[in-house]
Amino acid sequence: MYKLIIGNVRITVYDDAITRQEAAVTAKDAIHTAETQGKQLSHIELQLGPDGIEVKTTEKIGNKALRKTVKHSMLDGMLAAVKEKLSPTTAFSNKELWIDGDTGQEWRGSEVASTRDELLAKFEEWLKQM
């Protein structure tokens, strides 16, 4: 018995008759197959069977399995930027005041809050469609 690691996947080879080269190729094939199915593996077990090398895979579960695509990462970044622009987290910002940087116009009060909430809700709805 020996163990390998490919990327973040642990591989346990139970039969020493399986060469490291065969184990690596078989494990990479299993990882590739899982990725094409949208799965992420955490562990692969290899052993010799009557029909050759038998592969048993364990899929990642829990929070670590929640990986993002580049599209989801960009959309999350956009949402964070919109939230920061509409509701700055700095200590010196007034949440009931909006100043237009181009014209210098100012708005105050509930109109600012209701417009901010409306825009944020519409942006989040747009994100759901993506």
* Same domain, residue pair 23 and 54: yes
* Same domain, residue pair 8 and 46: yes
Q: Among 39, 64, 89, which residue terminates a domain?
A: 64
Domains contained in the chain, number: 2
* Same domain, residue pair 52 and 75: no
* Same domain, residue pair 58 and 85: no
Output the pLDDT for position 63: 55
Q: Among 10, 44, 64, which residue terminates a domain?
A: 64
Nearest in space to 41 (alpha carbons), one of 11, 72, 85: 11
* Same domain, residue pair 103 and 60: no
Q: Mean pLDDT, 10 residues at a time, over the chain (130 residues)?
A: 89 91 93 87 91 89 64 85 76 74 86 88 88
* Same domain, residue pair 73 and 53: no
Beta partners for residue 45, in sequence order: 12, 56
Output the pLDDT for position 97: 83
* Same domain, residue pair 51 and 19: yes
Output the pLDDT for position 61: 74
Output the pLDDT for position 36: 86
* Same domain, residue pair 6 and 54: yes
Provide CB contacts within 8 A for 43, sequence distance 6+: 9, 10, 11, 12, 57, 58
* Same domain, residue pair 21 and 56: yes
Output the pLDDT for position 39: 83
- Quickly tell me which residue has 């237009």 as its tokens: 100
* Same domain, residue pair 53 and 103: no
Output the pLDDT for position 86: 80
* Same domain, residue pair 89 and 125: yes
Expressed as residue numbers, the domain containing 53 is 2-64
